[in-house]
Structure 1
C-alpha cells in the first residue's frame, strides 16, 4: 500500500479547524529537524520553544476544540504550544522517547520524508536555474578530467538534467493552466489580481525572469553538449566512466555502458530542446501579459478585448476594394480613440553581449567579514553566557559587579544580559541552577560601559 508506512491518524491534524496553525508549525519544524549540523533527536523543550517562536510570528491564532481532550482551553502562547505539540504527538508526526527523566522527540524516516515532500510542494516554482546549470557543467568537467575516479558524477548530472527538464515542463504547464483560468474569467478584477498574484509573484519572478536576463544561465549549454557528445564519441573515455560505474554501483560492464549512454542521451536531449520549450513559454507569457494589459486598459469600461475586435473589423474592411459606409457606427461611442488603442508589442530578447567577470575588491571583502564578525559578536546565546560566567567566576563563590571584566564586544553583551538570565527561556535554566544574581537598590557605572543596578553573582551551592 502507498501509505502503509504512515500512521492512520497522520492527516487528521491537517484536516481539522486548526490546520492553519498546524501547517505553520510543521513548516518551521521541518527546518529544526533538517538541520544537518545538529542531532536529529531533539529535546522536548527545544521543540516546544520552536513552536512558541512560530506562534510569535503569526498575526493571530485561535484554537478550536474539534474533539474532547483532557487539556484546558489555552490562554498563553505556552499553552497553545503544548496543545499543538500534543496534537502532533497523538497524530504520529512526532515520536517521544523517554530515558529516565529525559524526554526526547524525533521524526520517523517515513514522516520526515513526507514532511520534506510537502515543504517542497509549497516551494514549487522557486528554482535557481543558474545553480542547476553550473552544477551540471561542473560535474561534467570533473568527469572529463578524472573519468576513473569521478565518473559516477555523470549519473548525478543526468538526474539533475532530468529534474531540470521536468521543472521547465512544470513552468510551461503552470503558465498554460493559468492562461486558461484567466481567459475563462469575466471579472476584470479577478483577471488582473490573478495575473499579478499567480504569474508575476509565483512564476515570472521566481523562474521565468532568470531565463530572459542578459546573464542567461543557458550560456553554458554549448559546453555541456560538447562534454556529453565527447563521452559518447570517445570509446576510451566511455570505458573509463563505465568502469567507475561498475566499481561504485557493483554492476556488469554491459549494464554500466548502457547507463552511461542513457545518461549522456538524457543530457543532450534536455539541453538541445531548451529553445523550443522557451519559445512556447514565451508565447504563453505574451498572451498572459496582453490579456492582463487589455483588461487593465478597459477596466473602467464594459468592453474588454475591444482592441482585438477592432483589429478584426479593420482586417475585414481591408478586403473590400471600396470602403463601405458605416452609417450606424459613425458618431457613436462604441469605437473611439481610447477603445482602438494599439495592442502591446512583443518584447524582443536583449542582444548578446560579452560577459566580463567583476572582481570584488579586497576592501569590500574585509568590510563584509568585519560586519559579519560584529553581528556574530552581538548575538546572545546560552553557551556564550555560560562560558563568560565560568571564566569570570573561575573558582570564586561570590563576585561583585565591579569585579567583572569587559574586554570585548562579546563580554559587553554577556555582561549586559546577566541581569536577564531569568527571562531567557528554558535554555537558560541550567545557568539559573548554577548561579544566582542578587540585586541591591544602588546604581553603579561599570567600567564606563554600562550603568545598572548593583548585583552579586553567587554560586547556588553557596547561596
Structure 2
C-alpha cells in the first residue's frame, strides 16, 4: 500500500483550520532535520525554539480550535509553539524518545522522506540544465573509459535523464495550465502580475537564454548519444558494464543486461527528441509573452494618469456578452488609432548553415611567413645591436664607418641605429660602456644604402 508506512493521522495537521501555521513550521523544520553536519536527533527545547523563530517571522497569529479542548487558546508565542509542537507529535510528524529526564525528538525515515518531497514540490521552479547535462556526459565518459570499475554509474546517468525528461514535461504542463488561467482572466493587472510571478519566477528555466546560444547546455548531446549507442552496439563493452551491474547490485546477469539496455534506451530517447519538446515549450512561452506584452501595452499606451481608466474600461466591457457600440472612440487619444497596439512579430530562428573550414592557399602561407620574418628583422633589440658590433669590431680598437659591412636587413637596421645608441634607453647602457661613437661634421654615402654623418666606433678601454 502507498500509505502503509505513514500514521493514519499524518495529514490531519495539514487539513485543519491551522494548516497555514503548520505548513510554515514544517517548512522550517525541514532545514533543521536535514542539516547534514549535525545529529538528526534533536533536543525538545531546540525544536520548540525553532518553532518560535518561525512564528516570529509570520505577520499574524490566530489559532482556531477545530475540536473541543480542555485548555485555553494560546496567548503568547511560546504557547503557540507548544500547541503546534504537540499537534505535530500527536499526528505523527515528530517522535519523542525519553531517556531518564532527557527528551529527544526525531523524524522517522518515512516521515522525513515525505517532508522532503513536499518541500521539493514547494520549491520546484527554476532549474539549471547545464550542470545536469554535463554530469550525464561525465558519467558516460567514465563508463566508456572504465567499464568494469565504473559501469554502474550508467544507472545514475539514466536516472538523471529521466528526471530531466520529467522536468521538461512539468514545464510544458505548467505553461499550458498557466496559459489557460491567464487567458480566462479579464483583469489586465492580474494577467501581467501572473505572468511575472508564476511564469518568470516559477516555471522558466534558469539557463533558458543559453539554449539559443552557441554555449547552450545541449551542445554535448551528440557525444551523449554516441556513448549510449556504443554501449549497445559494442558486445565487449556491454558485457563489461553488465558485469559491473552484477557485482555492484548483486543481481543475475540477465537482469543486469536488461537494466543496462533499458538505461541506454532511456538516455537515447531523452536526448533524441529534445528539439521537438523544446519547440513546444517555446511555442507556449511565446503565446504567454505576447499576451502579457499586449496587455501591458494597452495599459501603458495612454496619457499620464489614464492607465487605471483604461483598465476599468476593459474590465467593464468584458462583462457584456456582446460588446456595446461606442461612439467617438476612434477620435479619443488614449484608445484611438494613435494608441492602437501592433502585435509583436515572432522571431524565426535563422536557417541552419553548414560550416565548412576555409582552406588557406600555400602562397598565402608563404607570404605571411615572409612578412613575419621581415617584421622580425626590422625589430631593433640590444642583443642584436651588441652582436652586430662584436662581429664587426672583432678585436680591433676602432673602426671607420666605411669599414662596416651590410649583408642583410638585420645588419642594415643595426648599422642605421648605431648613431642612436645613446637614445635607446637604459637597456643600451651596456653597449655605451663597451663602445663609443665619435662623429665628425662630414657626411658620407655608405655602400649606396644610407647617407649619414661620418663616425668612428672606438672600443672603450677596460680601465
Give the TM bin, normalised by the shorter chain.
0.5 to 0.7
SS at match of 1:75: coil
Measured after TM superposition, the shift of residue 43 of structure 1 is 1.3
CA RMSD of aligned residues (A): 2.7
Task: Tell me if 1:30 matches 2:30.
Answer: yes
TM-score (norm 2): 0.66
Alignment-derived partner of residue 338 in structure 1? 339
Q: CA deviation at 1:158?
A: 0.4
Match of 1:199 in 2: 199
State the distance in 2 between where 1:41 and 1:48 align.
14
CA drift of 1:210 comes to 5.6
Distance 1:180 1:75 in 2: 44
**How far apart are residue 206 of structure 1 and its match?**
4.3
Q: Which residue of 2 aligns with 1:243?
A: 243
CA distance 1:105–1:213, shift in 2 (3 Å)? farther
CA distance in structure 2 between the aligned counterparts of 1:56 and 1:209, rounded to whole angstroms: 39
1:79-102 Cα distance to aligned partner (Å, 9 max, x none): 221111111111111111111111
Query: How far off its partner does 1:349 sit?
Result: 6.2
Q: Secondary structure at the match of 2:219?
A: helix
TM superposition shift of 1:238: 1.0
Give 3-state SS (helix, strand or coil) of 1:6's partner.
coil
Cα drift, residue 176 of structure 1: 1.2
TM-score, normalised with respect to structure 1: 0.66
CA distance in 2, matches of 1:331, 1:107: 67
Q: How many angstroms does 1:69 deviate by?
A: 3.4
Q: Call closer, same or farther: CA 1:59–1:211 in 2, change over 3 Å.
A: farther
Q: Name structure 1 gaps, 5 residues minimum.
A: 305-327, 353-463
Contact 1:125 1:207 in 2 (8 A): no
Aligned mates of 2:351, 2:44 — CA distance in 1: 58
- 1:12-91 to structure 2, matched below 5 A, reads 12-91=12-91
User: After superposition, what is the alpha-carbon deviation per residue over 1:355-407, rounded to whole angstroms, capped at 9, x for unaligned?
Assistant: xxxxxxxxxxxxxxxxxxxxxxxxxxxxxxxxxxxxxxxxxxxxxxxxxxxxx
SS in 2 for 1:39: coil
Whole-Å Cα distance in 1 between the matches of residues 213 and 82 of structure 2?
49
- Could you tell me how far 1:348 is from its partner in structure 2? 5.6
Provide the secondary structure at the position in 1 that maps to 2:191. helix
Q: 1:35-434 to 2 correspondence within 5 Å?
A: 35-204=35-204, 206=206, 208-209=208-209, 211-212=211-212, 215-299=215-299, 300=310, 302=313, 336-339=337-340, 341-347=341-347
> 2:241 & 2:145 partners in 1: Cα distance?
11
Contact 1:95–1:106 (CA<8 Å) still a contact in 2? yes
Equivalent position SS for 2:26:
helix
Mapped partners of 1:172, 1:244: distance in 2 = 37
In structure 2, relative to structure 1, the CA distance for the partners of 1:231 and 1:71 (3 Å cut) is same
Residues 86, 213 of structure 1: CA spacing in aligned structure 2 closer, same or farther, 3 A cutoff?
farther
* 1:5 maps to 2:5: yes
Q: Residues 99 and 210 (structure 1 numbering): CA distance in 2 closer, same or farther, change over 3 Å?
A: farther
Using a 3 Å threshold, how does the CA distance of structure 1 residues 46 and 162 change in structure 2: closer, same or farther?
A: same
Change (3 A) 1:82 1:281: same
Shift of 1:331: 7.1
Call closer, same or farther: CA 1:89–1:228 in 2, change over 3 Å: same
